[in-house]
Structures are given as structure tokens and as C-alpha cells.
Structure 1
């Protein structure tokens, strides 16, 4: 299976690359994908599954030379012409001569559980950076929800000198991402017990399946696996990952509208991602990371008056975030 994936990756870069001009932003868009066969199973008895998607990338390039590259990982192929909040960062990035790439592993849901999983994304990204002469430019990461978790997992991979292409992320911005999978396990158990909303119950079933299948059981059965995988575990007395991240420039966005969560999903502070972000931020600051920021908003999200979920990228000021990335780049250059 591994050799098949690598062959497909190679073919995608050789045969399925397309170039087109974006009429809206007057920039070049490069797409390189291959459709994967098979399915991703979401249940223990394989009764629930979804087909694998496209593996590859969509790259947005400014008309003149790029100063940096902003990377987003996703579980599925991305149509960046769609109206998805994260894609709104493309235009302000291009205005500041920053390239933006969306990398898809072909799995509709990807946790980056193993180095093997991450290496596929690393190959896709590395080939793209080399091909488009971006490998000597700073690389920044971004991610909403689980994609933010994936961004931090990729940082771990790179900071451990595992990147085949020597990628070294300079700054990361994540939005309402789950970090502590021990807490996540208990959150999903609580959602099943509450049986309050079908979306919460459905998510709980497949998340518990994924965690048990990939981490060797429940936290009680495989705590070390949970600590090894999670970017942050509150109950990890050794604070295992903090040393790895203590020099990373990181922003964490969240809007902890607890009234919405209780009313609409029967979730409280213990069962929303905000608690992970606050704990991670606290431990990073204690370790001396003054480049860590926790951005907390209140009713900033798009459509909040219509009772929209606070789990959304719309709380992020994209233009201001691009300026933040560029400030970090100036620090790097001036060192």
C-alpha cells in the first residue's frame, strides 16, 4: 500500500498538474491531484465509510516573486473557489506577495496519527515548494479545527528533523483546534451519554473509533500513546511536548461562547476545545515562550446573530494575521 501511494504521488506531480489564471485576484493557480481509490472506515464494524478523495495540492501564487508560503492541511481535496471561511485568507496573502497552498492527503478525515501519514503530506508539500521555487522562502502554517492539530503535528515532525525536504515552519496560527486527545476522548464519551444532538452523537462515535483504533484503546489503556500523539495533554506531568514548542511563534484563536455550546450541543467548558488552547498557552508561557498568543473573541464570528456555531475561522482577521506572519518573517531575517 505504501509503495502504491508513493507511485500515485509521483504520477500526480508528473501528469495531473494544471495552471490557470484567477480572474478575481489576477494570480496564478496551480493544481496537482490524483484521485485515490478505496474508502475510509468510520465505524468498528465497517458499516459507515466514506470514499477517499484527491491527493495533492492547490497552490495560489502572486504575480511577482513570493516572499513566503502559507500552508494549510486538509483531509480532502480542496476547491478553493468554494465559499469556505479559511479560503478568505488567500486574497490578503496574495496582496502581500505570499503564496498559499492547500495540501490534501486524500483522506476525508486525517489526524496525522503516524509519521507515515505525515510523510505523505511532507512529500506533497516538498515537491510543490521545490517545483515552484519556494523552498528557500519561509514557511508558515495555518489550520482550522483538526487541520490546526495537523499543523502542530507537522511542526513536531519537522522539528524532529524528519522532513525529507528540510521544511522548518516559522510560525503557526490555529483556530479552535483540539489538542488534548485525553480530554477529547472524555468529551466524546460525554456526548454519547448526553445524547443531546445528532451531530454531536455522530461525531462522538467516529472520533472514539478513530482514537481507539489508532492509539491502542482508551486513555486508561494507552495513556502513553495519547501523550505521544497529542500536541498537549493537560495531565501530562512531564509536559512532554512543551520543550519542542517553546520557541515556536504560535497564535491560537477561539470564541468560547459557552451559552451557545450548552444550548445547542449540551457541551460545557470541559468539552470544548478552548480549554486545550488556554492550557497549552499557559504552559508555553510558563516555559518562556513569549511568542505564544491566545486570541479570545466574543460574538465576532460571522452570522452569530443568527445562532451560528463559534467553531469557525470567521473569527480570524485574515489581513491582520498575514501582517503577523510577515512580522515574524522580519524577525527571522534580522537575526
Structure 2
């Protein structure tokens, strides 16, 4: 926050938590809320950046696409960055199935049960049909679908992740293709192949440490703040 203030960057925090997709009416409501924040605080709208950690990255990309598509809102983001986000809902379901079969980590089992129930209740089983998942997911690896962020082709995008496969194997018994890092790398390749020339894939190494000094690659700390601020300020 102090570095942002020193560079005259205003930050607005969202209280959305564990939000992995949006229903259409929710995107409209959120965009109206964002618009009100800018109006009430007399903030400039010509240098907007949206970001998020974990599921917050899904929020950032989806709302960024919506704002870009609806130009009349006058809130087109200049840039979006995500930090180790679970961008593929179908793969999240598949990975959770594998975690339950392994039954290795209590944390992993609890989270996987929650994910399968939540996604299954809303979209059904992706092993039977991917259609509903594609309709709401940032990215669908099995079909290379990026249709929900197609409007961001000319937007600056940064994809941060720390591909520490050894940590995930040791602590969760997870394969690399189950990690956010793997899917983020695949998204990057898909976007670049589709002409998203302002997309940057940024893998980090040994930066994932949480506030309690616990080593964890799924952490905000993988982002180098000063360099990120320079990217934001770059016209």
C-alpha cells in the first residue's frame, strides 16, 4: 500500500471470496458498483488496472472482459494481472477427483470435497459434458476455450505463478499438471497463439512465502512489487 501511495496509485479492495465464476446479472451489478466507486471518489477512469490472487484472478479477468466489452461504462481496464489463479473450472474438478482418490492430505481432501460439490451442483460432471464449464470458465484446457476473455486481446495481461512441482508433490502428492502453474502456462500459450500480444507469463522461483513465514508457492509474495508498479505506470 505504501509503495502504491508513493506512486499516486489508488487501490480499491473487493470483499469477494472464493468466487470462481459470475452469473450474468452479477457481472452487471459488480460493474455498477465499480462505476459508483469511481464517481463517488472522483477517480480517473483512463488508467484502470484489475488484479486478484487465487480465485480473485478469475474475478479480475472475467470482470475485465465484461468492462472492456461494455464500452459505454467507460471503465475499460488498461491492464490485468493474476497471481496463481485456478483458471480452469473443469480441470479443478478433475484434479479434485484425483486428490480424493489419493486421500493424502487432509487439507486437500476437504478442499476437493467442497470443490466437487460446488461445481457439480452448478455445472454437473465435466466428465459427461464440458459445455456448462466452458460457458463460465476463464479457460478450458481440453478445448482451448478462451471465449470468456476474448475481449482482452488488446489489454496488458500478466500471469504470475510459481511452478514449484516439488512442493506440491511433497505436501499434496499432486502432479504438476494438477497445479495452477501448469494451467496458467497453458493459458499463456493459448492467448499468445490467439494474438494476445500484450500477455506476459511470469514464473517465479523461491518467492512463495506467506505472512507467517510459511513456505507456500500459492502466495501473494511471489509478485515483485516494485517491478509491478513500474509496469502499471508504464503508458
Normalised to the residue count of structure 1, the TM-score between the two structures is 0.65
Distance 2:54 2:7 in 1: 25
Deviation string for 1:73-109 (max 9, x for gaps)? Answer: xxxxxxxxxxxxxxxxx2211111010000224xx43
Partner residue in 1 for 2:4? 93
Distance 1:194 1:204 in 2: 11
- Map of 1:39-54 to 2, 5 A cutoff? none
Shift of 1:203: 0.7
The Cα RMSD (Å) is 2.1
Partner residue in 2 for 1:125? 34
| Higher share of residues assigned strand | 1
- The answer to whether 1:283 aligns with 2:190 is yes
Does the 8 A contact of 1:175 with 1:254 survive in 2?
yes
1:248 corresponds, among 149, 155, 164, to 155
When residues 191 and 102 of structure 1 are mapped into structure 2, their CA distance, relative to the original with a 3 A threshold, is: same
Partner residue in 1 for 2:217? 310
Does the 8 A contact of 2:54 with 2:84 survive in 1?
yes
Partner residue in 2 for 1:155? 64
When residues 242 and 113 of structure 1 are mapped into structure 2, their CA distance, relative to the original with a 3 A threshold, is: closer
- The answer to whether 1:112 aligns with 2:112 is no
Distance 1:192 1:210 in 2: 15
Partner residue in 2 for 1:225? 132
Distance 1:253 1:238 in 2: 20
Partner residue in 1 for 2:229? 322
Structure 1 unaligned runs (5+)?
Answer: 1-89, 331-335
Larger radius of gyration: 1
Does the 8 A contact of 1:242 with 1:284 survive in 2?
no
Distance 1:208 1:178 in 2: 14
When residues 245 and 235 of structure 1 are mapped into structure 2, their CA distance, relative to the original with a 3 A threshold, is: farther
Structure 1 range deviating more: 235-244 or 223-232: 235-244
Which aligned segments of 4 or more residues in structure 1 are displaced greater than 3 angstroms?
Answer: 163-166, 237-243
Deviation string for 1:28-56 (max 9, x for gaps)? Answer: xxxxxxxxxxxxxxxxxxxxxxxxxxxxx
Q: How many pairs align? A: 234
Structure 2 unaligned runs (5+)?
Answer: none
- Map of 1:67-106 to 2, 5 A cutoff? 90-105=1-16
- Map of 1:25-40 to 2, 5 A cutoff? none
